[in-house]
Amino acid sequence: MGGAERAEPLMERTYVILRRYLNRMPAPAMLEVKEEWPFLFSQRGLFSHFGLLTDVNILQKLQEALGQRGQTILQFCQKLDNPKIREVLASYDPEASEKAACILLLLMVYFKEPTEKLMLEVDTCATAALPSTPCLIIQGNVMFRDLIFPVYTGFPAFLT
Protein backbone atom coordinates (compact mmCIF):
# COMPACT_ATOMS: atom_id res chain seq x y z
CA MET A 1 0.00 0.00 0.00
CA GLY A 2 1.44 3.36 -1.07
CA GLY A 3 1.69 6.53 0.99
CA ALA A 4 -1.43 8.09 -0.52
CA GLU A 5 -3.51 4.99 0.17
CA ARG A 6 -2.42 5.09 3.81
CA ALA A 7 -2.77 8.85 4.19
CA GLU A 8 -6.29 9.27 2.82
CA PRO A 9 -8.12 7.27 5.52
CA LEU A 10 -6.00 8.95 8.20
CA MET A 11 -6.96 12.36 6.79
CA GLU A 12 -10.62 11.35 6.95
CA ARG A 13 -10.27 10.28 10.59
CA THR A 14 -8.47 13.50 11.54
CA TYR A 15 -10.78 15.79 9.55
CA VAL A 16 -12.14 17.60 12.62
CA ILE A 17 -8.62 18.21 13.95
CA LEU A 18 -7.53 19.58 10.56
CA ARG A 19 -10.54 21.91 10.30
CA ARG A 20 -9.89 23.29 13.79
CA TYR A 21 -6.24 23.76 12.89
CA LEU A 22 -7.00 25.58 9.62
CA ASN A 23 -9.75 27.76 11.14
CA ARG A 24 -7.89 28.84 14.25
CA MET A 25 -7.15 32.49 14.99
CA PRO A 26 -4.69 33.66 13.98
CA ALA A 27 -4.68 31.44 10.91
CA PRO A 28 -1.60 29.26 10.47
CA ALA A 29 0.98 30.33 7.89
CA MET A 30 0.93 28.35 4.64
CA LEU A 31 4.47 27.08 5.32
CA GLU A 32 3.31 25.73 8.65
CA VAL A 33 0.28 24.03 7.07
CA LYS A 34 2.53 22.48 4.42
CA GLU A 35 4.84 21.11 7.12
CA GLU A 36 2.05 19.80 9.38
CA TRP A 37 -0.34 18.48 6.71
CA PRO A 38 1.73 17.75 3.56
CA PHE A 39 -0.85 15.34 2.10
CA LEU A 40 -3.27 18.25 1.83
CA PHE A 41 -0.96 19.74 -0.83
CA SER A 42 -1.17 16.72 -3.11
CA GLN A 43 -3.84 16.29 -5.78
CA ARG A 44 -5.38 13.34 -4.01
CA GLY A 45 -5.27 15.08 -0.63
CA LEU A 46 -6.76 18.30 -1.92
CA PHE A 47 -9.59 16.56 -3.75
CA SER A 48 -10.24 14.23 -0.82
CA HIS A 49 -10.42 17.14 1.62
CA PHE A 50 -12.69 19.08 -0.73
CA GLY A 51 -14.97 16.04 -0.96
CA LEU A 52 -15.15 15.71 2.82
CA LEU A 53 -15.79 19.42 3.23
CA THR A 54 -18.48 19.77 0.55
CA ASP A 55 -19.62 16.21 -0.20
CA VAL A 56 -18.83 16.93 -3.86
CA ASN A 57 -16.49 14.96 -6.11
CA ILE A 58 -14.78 17.95 -7.70
CA LEU A 59 -13.15 16.04 -10.56
CA GLN A 60 -16.48 14.52 -11.55
CA LYS A 61 -18.21 17.91 -11.31
CA LEU A 62 -15.55 19.61 -13.44
CA GLN A 63 -15.76 16.89 -16.08
CA GLU A 64 -19.56 17.10 -16.11
CA ALA A 65 -19.47 20.90 -16.36
CA LEU A 66 -16.99 20.80 -19.24
CA GLY A 67 -19.06 18.18 -20.98
CA GLN A 68 -22.34 20.02 -20.50
CA ARG A 69 -21.25 23.64 -20.82
CA GLY A 70 -17.91 23.57 -22.60
CA GLN A 71 -19.37 23.24 -26.07
CA THR A 72 -21.91 25.98 -25.29
CA ILE A 73 -19.09 28.33 -24.27
CA LEU A 74 -17.14 27.50 -27.44
CA GLN A 75 -20.20 28.12 -29.64
CA PHE A 76 -21.01 31.38 -27.85
CA CYS A 77 -17.46 32.65 -28.27
CA GLN A 78 -17.43 31.72 -31.97
CA LYS A 79 -20.27 34.22 -32.49
CA LEU A 80 -18.41 37.08 -30.81
CA ASP A 81 -16.57 39.77 -32.76
CA ASN A 82 -13.53 39.99 -30.51
CA PRO A 83 -10.04 39.69 -32.02
CA LYS A 84 -8.52 38.21 -28.85
CA ILE A 85 -11.24 35.55 -28.66
CA ARG A 86 -10.75 34.78 -32.35
CA GLU A 87 -7.02 34.39 -31.67
CA VAL A 88 -7.69 31.82 -28.92
CA LEU A 89 -10.19 29.97 -31.12
CA ALA A 90 -7.74 29.96 -34.04
CA SER A 91 -5.15 28.15 -31.93
CA TYR A 92 -7.69 25.57 -30.71
CA ASP A 93 -7.66 22.22 -32.52
CA PRO A 94 -10.47 19.95 -31.23
CA GLU A 95 -8.44 16.86 -32.13
CA ALA A 96 -5.19 17.85 -30.41
CA SER A 97 -5.90 20.73 -28.02
CA GLU A 98 -6.92 20.61 -24.40
CA LYS A 99 -10.57 21.74 -24.36
CA ALA A 100 -10.44 22.82 -20.72
CA ALA A 101 -7.44 25.09 -21.42
CA CYS A 102 -9.24 26.66 -24.38
CA ILE A 103 -12.37 27.32 -22.34
CA LEU A 104 -10.34 28.80 -19.50
CA LEU A 105 -8.52 31.12 -21.91
CA LEU A 106 -11.79 32.11 -23.62
CA LEU A 107 -13.43 32.96 -20.30
CA MET A 108 -10.42 34.98 -19.19
CA VAL A 109 -10.40 36.95 -22.45
CA TYR A 110 -14.18 37.45 -22.38
CA PHE A 111 -14.11 38.79 -18.81
CA LYS A 112 -10.95 40.80 -19.54
CA GLU A 113 -8.90 38.97 -16.94
CA PRO A 114 -5.13 39.10 -17.44
CA THR A 115 -3.86 35.58 -18.07
CA GLU A 116 -0.64 36.31 -16.19
CA LYS A 117 -2.68 36.57 -12.96
CA LEU A 118 -3.68 32.91 -13.28
CA MET A 119 -1.05 31.39 -15.55
CA LEU A 120 2.70 31.64 -15.29
CA GLU A 121 4.35 30.59 -18.54
CA VAL A 122 7.88 29.30 -18.04
CA ASP A 123 10.66 28.02 -20.26
CA THR A 124 10.91 24.23 -20.07
CA CYS A 125 14.63 24.53 -19.27
CA ALA A 126 14.39 27.37 -16.77
CA THR A 127 13.55 27.41 -13.10
CA ALA A 128 11.11 30.08 -12.01
CA ALA A 129 10.41 31.56 -8.62
CA LEU A 130 6.99 30.38 -7.51
CA PRO A 131 4.40 33.09 -6.92
CA SER A 132 2.77 33.56 -3.54
CA THR A 133 -0.75 33.33 -5.01
CA PRO A 134 -2.49 30.33 -6.59
CA CYS A 135 -1.75 29.93 -10.30
CA LEU A 136 -1.09 27.44 -13.08
CA ILE A 137 2.51 26.91 -14.14
CA ILE A 138 2.63 26.23 -17.87
CA GLN A 139 5.58 24.87 -19.77
CA GLY A 140 5.03 24.86 -23.50
CA ASN A 141 1.76 25.60 -25.25
CA VAL A 142 -1.20 25.77 -22.86
CA MET A 143 -3.56 24.52 -25.58
CA PHE A 144 -1.58 21.36 -26.10
CA ARG A 145 -0.89 20.76 -22.42
CA ASP A 146 2.81 19.99 -22.60
CA LEU A 147 3.03 20.48 -18.86
CA ILE A 148 0.62 22.27 -16.58
CA PHE A 149 0.56 22.10 -12.82
CA PRO A 150 -1.22 24.20 -10.22
CA VAL A 151 0.64 26.06 -7.53
CA TYR A 152 -1.12 26.94 -4.30
CA THR A 153 0.54 29.78 -2.44
CA GLY A 154 4.04 28.97 -3.47
CA PHE A 155 3.88 25.16 -3.38
CA PRO A 156 3.45 22.99 -6.48
CA ALA A 157 0.54 20.71 -5.71
CA PHE A 158 0.60 18.13 -8.48
CA LEU A 159 1.48 17.42 -12.08
CA THR A 160 -1.17 16.64 -14.68
* pLDDT per position as a tens digit, 123-151: 656 555 666 666 666 666 655 554 444 54
Asked if the structure places residue 139 within a domain, the reply is yes
Exposure on the CB side of residue 85, measured as CA atoms within 13 A: 18
Residue 30: partners with Cβ closer than 8 Å, 6 or more residues away: 153, 154, 155
109 with 80, same domain: the answer is yes
Domain with 17 in it: 3-54
The reply to whether 132 falls in a domain is yes
Domain assignment present for 128: yes
C-alpha 7/C-alpha 106 separation (Å) is 37
Asked if the structure places residue 62 within a domain, the reply is no
Domain contains 60? no
Q: What domain count does the chain have?
A: 3
Confirm whether 59 is domain-assigned: no
Q: Are residues 142 and 157 in the same domain?
A: yes
In this prediction, residue 159 has a pLDDT band, given cuts at 50, 70 and 90, of very low
Same domain, yes or no, for 109 and 136? no
39 and 26 both lie in a single domain: yes
Same domain for 145 and 128: yes
- 0.75 exceeded by pTM: no
Residue 61 lies in a domain: no
Identify whether 101 is part of a domain: yes
d(CA 77, CA 46): 32
Are residues 119 and 144 both part of a single domain? yes
Q: What is the pLDDT of residues 63-116, one digit of tens each?
A: 888 888 989 999 999 999 999 999 989 988 888 777 888 888 899 899 998 877
What is the reported pLDDT for 141?
Answer: 62
